[in-house]
Structure 1
Amino acid sequence: MSKVKYYYDPDTLSYRKIEPKKSKKYRNIGLFFLGSMLFGLLGLTILLNTDILNTPKELSLQREVKNYELQFELLNKKMGQMEQVLANIEDRDNNIYRLYFEANPIPEEQRRAGFGGINRYKSLEGFNNSEMIIETTKQMDIIQKQMVIQSKSLDEITKLAEEKEELLAAIPAIQPINNEELTRMASGYGWRSDPFTKARKMHWGMDFTAPKGTPIYASGDGKVTRADNNSSGYGKHIRVDHGYGYMTLYAHLSKYNVKPGQKVKRGDLIGFVGSTGRSEAPHLHYEVFKDGERINPINFYYGSLTAKEFENMLKYANQENQSLD
């Protein structure tokens, strides 16, 4: 029950009842409702930001979402570490492996290229954590692409390494007659006096003087293409195709130790010194071809001679003496 208030009226010398104004009454009612609304809104805000009204299932889902956010953060850190390792591999690939095998480095823009065209991540849009999920997915896609490029590069390097190993084995790199069995290096590559006509003419190989029957060895891996007496002047001779444009010829043999079509390794015994064909004395006439052109064999003895032996050979090979064929 509301209190009734009175005031003293001096004119009537009596107490009169105070009648409240209607506007004030309405204002009080309005303030009451406004205060009630503000209090209710504040209470609702507090409730919505606490777990008081959440069901156990909702609380479980919230914990799961927070756990996923933590896992995404850890995943991003791991991918950052992967990118560092991959960048180191890419650097070594470009500046060591590909450089060594004379392959062009893979451009940085090719390694780091993104994905053009349609929006690959449209299905991930519209969620609370869409931005985080999309960025993580993009990072994973780029790393995956970099790994594919790097894997292909290493496959290429492996193939180049195998080919280089085969090339090094194929190059005619040893002297075809052992020094212990060699009488002397009779004549080198260049202009020499012909033993029969005495005219000055080009000598396309090197002559190694040795007794008849001295073993002759293949100077590199390859395949015997000829072992016959059907080439003018060479007498019994052998030709070995080493691949990669290289071929060697061994002439004036007394007999063969190989047949056409046979594969040989560097150092294999292929024949014996003789004096067949256009020859003045027992010796081996040795030629090296590259892409069909005769080249100086003296540049290919790094596999069997010491520095002193090579120096002596170079000295005799450069003498413009008389050849033996």
Structure 2
Amino acid sequence: MAQKFRFNVNRLEFEKVTRPVWYFLLKGVKYFLVTVSLAVCYYIVFALVVDTDTEKRIKQENEAYSTMYEGMLERERLLENVIEGMKTKEDGIYRQLFNSPVPDFAISGVDVFLSGDGDIPDKDFIRHINNRIDTLVGMAGRVEGNLQKVMETLLSGKPVPPLTSPVEGFPPSRTGASVGSRINPFYKVRVEHDGLDMLSPQGTPVKASADGVVTGTVRSGKGKGNVVEISHDGGYVTRYAHLDNILVSRGQKVARGTVIGHVGMSGNSFVPHLHYEVYRDSLRLDPVNHFFVSMSPDDYTNMLFMSANAGQSMD
């Protein structure tokens, strides 16, 4: 056992003090625990107050990923709305333009035959392939039949709707709001928009989208500004608004592609653009449905996307 001396004031002499070894072991353990606890506390405080370069980089990456994730969710919702809108437009195009059944280009259902686990028996695989071939043959027949009906309509001499863009070479990236509820750029409230905004430089030629007769011209500094109205066969009417000038007169016959004016900002116009409207027997139609003939499939898809998602009109 360890020993030490202490002075006894009563007896005025030194005497031995004896303590067991476990006393010193316990004291050493206490010092060790206190030291470790202080070290842990210092580390926690340091970690909470001071960020290392790695932690700073990770936080920045997390913030960036969070922003990207929210943007991706918004784009996903946007694309879902666009796809639904395109399906509706696809139905409307053939019914409004050609009075023909809606073409069935899609294969209904999802092919999950090959997504399961395990081996597929040869006979089942062959039967599945034969079924798919029959389905594709049926699809091809329906597509051919629909195209045949469209061609018969075009060749029969029956009236067809205006299918040419009034602005030649119009880029889809300049497509503005189409028909529907849109925010007015001047009053900042939602109003019903009855046409398609085609943003173009001032002075761009505006052409008749089909053969017809000019049934109205308006020269004004208010509302839709300078407007030309053309009536076409089949009960179709097209209107061209916010023109910079008017080059035709009421009662004049015009051919498709005739320049009737130029893009301007007459009336209540936020930027230079053509406001284009299409009607059939007084029924308002979406002009976007009349552009698929004069554009490539990719450009037409982009135009549908832009027109459906422009929240604010230009007039």
TM norm structure 2: 0.49
Higher Cα radius of gyration: 1
